[in-house]
Amino acid sequence: MAEAAITLQNVTKRFGSVEANRDVSMEIRRGEILALLGENGSGKTTLMNMLAGIYYPDEGKILVDGKHVNIRDPKDAYALGIGMVHQHFKLVDVFSAVENVMVGGGKKRGDVREARAKIREICDKYGFSVDPDKKVYDMSVSEKQTLEIIKVLYRGARILILDEPTAVLTPQETEKLFAVMRNMKADGKTVVIITHKLHEVLSISDRVAILRKGEYIDCVDTETASTESLTEMMVGKKVDLNIERPQVEKKQLRIEVKGLNCYNAEGVQVLKNVDFELYSGEILGIAGVSGNGQKELLESIAGLQTVLPGASIIYHPPGGKEGVELIGKTPRQIRELGVHLSFVPEDRLGMGLVGTMGMWENMMLKDYSVGRGIFTDKKKPRELAEQVRKELKVVTPGLSTPVRRLSGGNVQKVLVGREIAAAPAVLMTAYAVRGLDINASYTIYQLLNEQKLSGVAVLYVGEDLDVLLELCDRILVLCGGQVSGILDGRSAKKEELGRKMTTVEVAADAGV
Amino acid sequence: MQEYKNSREPLIRLTKRDSMPLGSRIVVRLVSVVLAMLVCAVLIYAITGINPLVVYRTMFEGAFGSKSRIWSTVKEMMLLSCIAIGLAPAFKMRFWNIGAEGQVLVGGIVTAGCMIYLNKLPSALLLPVMVLCSILAGALWGLLPALFKAKWNTNETLATLMMNYVAIQLTSFFVAKWENPYGSNTVGIINQSDQKGWFPQVMGSRYFFCVVLVLLLSVMMHIYLKYTKHGFEISVVGASENTARYAGINVSWVMIRTMLLSGAICGLSGFMAVAGASHTISVSTAGGRGFTAIIVAWMAKFDAATMLLISLLLAFLQNGAGEIASKCGLNDYASQMIIGILLFFLLGCEFFINYRPVFRHGKKKEVR
């Protein structure tokens, strides 16, 4: 058996009264690809940050090559040959690739030529491609990530830690990354990859280490693992991985979108001639690689986007009354028209909730202005907060605890709870289960199904194709801001969905 | 690649605290004041050889030694808190209003103008007119940067800061225009003979009215920020403009409305400075209070009662330090130094409220 590159012994790390890691003992073997698996908040990133010198353990020891070391800062980590690529890139935007690689390396500017040569050498060796003189602000997400990895290799890392590298990549880019990782392994490097996508774990890793609630559970050989066994270890109990899809008979047209075109702040067209219809009593899934217009589509309906003239979004209220045009109206105007539209945006704390406020104050975010008088009504939101907390089992020290201090799953429950409590006719959710653990995800699916059964039109933007295929009645696929197809959720195949996500088969460009 | 040299665990590292109970928070702050005074004492003795206790007593006497001194300290406290109250809503909205100095000055200019040109009016009418005019002038000074920000997303820090210089130049212009006596290059005491437009004397002091006005304002601001719909909107915009838009808040309008209010209250404190205190106008009417009030507002985290307390502390320091400068034969810099050291410790102790140092052997160090 290969020897241990890094051994952790009884490592504990606390933040205030929260234990992020408790008594973790594990080893990372030389020359392996180790996947670190766990639900969000299980302490994967904290644990790796201690190896990278970002945090210092409160208790326990770290051994590198069998010797006890104290990693006080990232410099110590590099000196030991440990390099980490963080989930949020740490690059200087206005610097070129080569400058970024040299920053903090203690070299003078004069060594640029040498650095450039070394970058090229690294690229050839592992199969990267990067232009050393390209500025970071001109780079795509995947290029930035490549640069981060090169930076780590340039500094002589033997042990690489990649924190959720695939979260921002398309499937093709992920494949490329995995190829590079295999090359690195062949070269004798040790790679640790943090992820919570099980199929990736199964395809790339040699061994899987599982963390749950800050504690080390087990480490298994990937060959002997399956999706079910890994889930069970991750969650701590058997999870029924089936999602219900009840059928609703009576459906009514609720929202009609026609000719929607939209540019983002950078002047790029993000929605092209989008047409679709949304019915009550259905869940319409929206599939697509992240950043293909999903955000803008939902925001257009919610009145938060400026769209090109000629578009039309008609809301047909229940009861067969006349439709209402939503384009050109602000969120408040839309609400005042009696349109019961609930929206769970992708950016929970940056848009859906106020992170610094408590649960009860967030409950009144959308209807604080209801009622006469200049004072806010505090009683109702408090009652609502208490109700949401009970019904959705939100874990919080108190209704006034700032919601940003809650875990991701609880933050999402607060947001979804508020939006559902508003008794919507249309419910839009963007990545409703992103970052949620399996239990919380299934709670959300169930809530969405309940809404659908009560006649709500649900728009579900998702990223997990399997979930989309199991949960949704119909699936609209967005590719490059265009509708590349609307499929029946009951009969569609995953391959078909994946193909439509990357190619628009119908030339729908006419008129743009 | 540099060679790794194994070393010991770092001597001190910092971990974030959960949250500190109110009691310990007060203790930490008191300890920091005591420490600051100790450091000052050592410095004073080391440099001048004067007994620090004498210096501190002189300071106290300078601020509270006689009735008129008490009133003078109170006046300073009120002017400072009034501006801080004005700044609070803007800062709570994360709108960096650095322009209080200018807003105070224009409030002062129009107040002085009213006193000079409208001195035929009876006092009962003149004072309300002065209040109204100063409020309008301050509001206008606050409105312009807000409009630019709302319309073109200009940087409000620069805009409000630059508006200060415009106000200072305007003041110079009016000082030259209203010069009295001719050639003195000052406006002199306005309406000294008939005291038109001066605050009436209550309880033996003209400053009594300032106290009433500021206390009233601070109660109202407390209620406004905490319990009204406007206050809620300000908090949401301050936390995240995106969230505010999502919630259906008209961000531009909230910005403009809040800056009107902020400027208006700052203008009103210009009115108090002129009609209630100095009865004259000069470029030093605001006297840097517009900037000091920023410290007051932030240290108090926009809580009205705390702002009063911090203003009192700063007013005490200023008056007391002035006294030691003259009494103990120390120059002005000595008092500036004491103020500086005290503020350093007070701001520094916030760090220990948020973080906890952990020492090498794993022993936790409690409060400080």
Interface probe with B: pick from A56, A64, A296, most Cβ of B within 10 Å: A56
Contact across the interface for B9 and A56, Cβ inside 8 Å: yes
Contact across the interface for A351 and B242, Cβ inside 8 Å: yes
What CATH number was assigned to the domain covering residues A253-502?
3.40.50.300
| Residue B339 placed within a domain | no
Which of A17, A332, A345 lies nearest to residue B248, judging by beta carbons? A332
| More confidently predicted of B276 and A41 | B276
Instruction: For chain A, say whether B363 makes contact (Cβ under 8 Å).
Output: no
**Residues B292-320, mean pLDDT to the nearest whole number:** 90
A428 interaction partners in chain B (CB closer than 8 Å): none
* pLDDT above 90 (res B323): no
* Predicted pLDDT of residue B273: 93
- Position A158: which residue type? R
pLDDT tens for residues A63-92?
Answer: 999 889 989 888 889 999 999 998 778 888
Residue in B closest to A58 by C-alpha: B362
- Position A223: which residue type? E
**Residues A313-318, mean pLDDT to the nearest whole number:** 91
* pLDDT above 90 (res A436): no
* Predicted pLDDT of residue B271: 94
Cβ contact A438:A235 at 8 Å:
yes
Contact across the interface for A365 and B362, Cβ inside 8 Å: no
Q: Are strands A283-287 and A474-479 parallel, antiparallel or unpaired?
A: parallel
* Predicted pLDDT of residue A497: 87
Percentage of chain B beyond pLDDT 70 is 95
* Predicted pLDDT of residue B366: 44
Residue pointed to by tokens 């440099």: B47
**Residues B93-98, mean pLDDT to the nearest whole number:** 94
Percentage of chain B beyond pLDDT 90 is 51
Contact across the interface for A351 and B1, Cβ inside 8 Å: no
* Predicted pLDDT of residue B6: 66
| More confidently predicted of B184 and A52 | A52
* Predicted pLDDT of residue B94: 93
| Residue B41 placed within a domain | no
* Predicted pLDDT of residue A416: 92
* pLDDT above 80 (res A362): yes
Residue in A closest to B237 by C-alpha: A354
- The CATH architecture assigned to A4-235 reads 3-Layer(aba) Sandwich (3.40)
Which of A79, A355, A376 lies nearest to residue B227, judging by beta carbons? A376
Q: What is the 3-state secondary structure (H, E, C) of A255-302?
A: EEEEEEEEECCCCCEEEEEEEEEEECCCEEEEECCCCCCHHHHHHHHH
Which of A16, A75, A304 lies nearest to residue B18, judging by beta carbons? A16
Confidence of residue A510 (pLDDT cuts 50, 70, 90): very low
* Predicted pLDDT of residue A435: 66
Residue A274, beta-bridge partner list? A260
Residue in B closest to A67 by C-alpha: B6
Matching fold, domains A4-235 and A253-502: yes
Provide the domain limits for residue B263: 76-311
| Residue B364 placed within a domain | no
Please report, for residues A68, A367, B184, the alpha-carbon distance to residue A361 in angstroms, rounded to integers and kept in the order given: 49, 11, 58
| Residue B249 placed within a domain | yes
Percentage of chain A beyond pLDDT 70 is 96
**Overall domain count for chain B:** 1
* Predicted pLDDT of residue A49: 93
Q: How far apart are CA B284 and CA A330, in angstroms?
A: 46
Burial A234-266 (b: 16+ CB within 10 A, else e): beeeebeeebebeebeeeeebbebebbbbbeee
Contact across the interface for B245 and A331, Cβ inside 8 Å: yes
pLDDT tens for residues A139-171?
Answer: 888 888 899 999 999 988 999 999 888 877 777
| More confidently predicted of B56 and B11 | B56
User: Which B residues in the span 210-269 are in contact with A, Cβ-Cβ below 8 Å?
Assistant: 227-233, 235-236, 239-240, 242-243, 245-250
Burial A144-173 (b: 16+ CB within 10 A, else e): bbbbbbbbbbbbebbbbbbbbbbbbbbeeb
Q: What are phi and psi of B286, to 5 degrees?
A: -75, -30
Interface probe with A: pick from B5, B229, B250, B251, most Cβ of A within 10 Å: B229
* Predicted pLDDT of residue A108: 61
CB atoms within 10 A of CB A15: 14
Contact across the interface for B246 and A331, Cβ inside 8 Å: yes
Contact across the interface for B6 and A67, Cβ inside 8 Å: yes
* pLDDT above 70 (res A511): no
User: Nearest to residue A129, comparing CAs of A173, A165, A164?
Assistant: A173
* Predicted pLDDT of residue A164: 84
pLDDT tens for residues B234-262?
Answer: 999 999 999 999 999 999 999 999 999 99
> What are the structural domain ranges in chain A?
4-235, 253-502
A302 interaction partners in chain B (CB closer than 8 Å): 246
Q: How far apart are CA A458 and CA A442, in angstroms?
A: 16
Contact across the interface for A72 and B1, Cβ inside 8 Å: no
| Residue B66 placed within a domain | no
- Residue B306 sits at the vertex; the CA angle it makes with B300 and B312, to the nearest 5 degrees, is 105
pLDDT tens for residues A96-106?
Answer: 998 888 887 66
Size of interface A-B (CB pairs under 8 A): 104
Q: What is the ipTM of this complex?
A: 0.80
Instruction: For chain A, say whether B362 makes contact (Cβ under 8 Å).
Output: yes
Confidence of residue B7 (pLDDT cuts 50, 70, 90): low
Confidence of residue A221 (pLDDT cuts 50, 70, 90): very high
**Residues A407-422, mean pLDDT to the nearest whole number:** 87
Contact across the interface for A58 and B15, Cβ inside 8 Å: yes
**Residues A22-32, mean pLDDT to the nearest whole number:** 93
pLDDT tens for residues B18-77?
Answer: 677 888 888 888 899 899 989 988 988 888 888 888 888 888 898 898 888 999 999 999
* Predicted pLDDT of residue B1: 45
Which of A69, A75, A374 lies nearest to residue B6, judging by beta carbons? A69
Cβ contact B87:B99 at 8 Å:
no
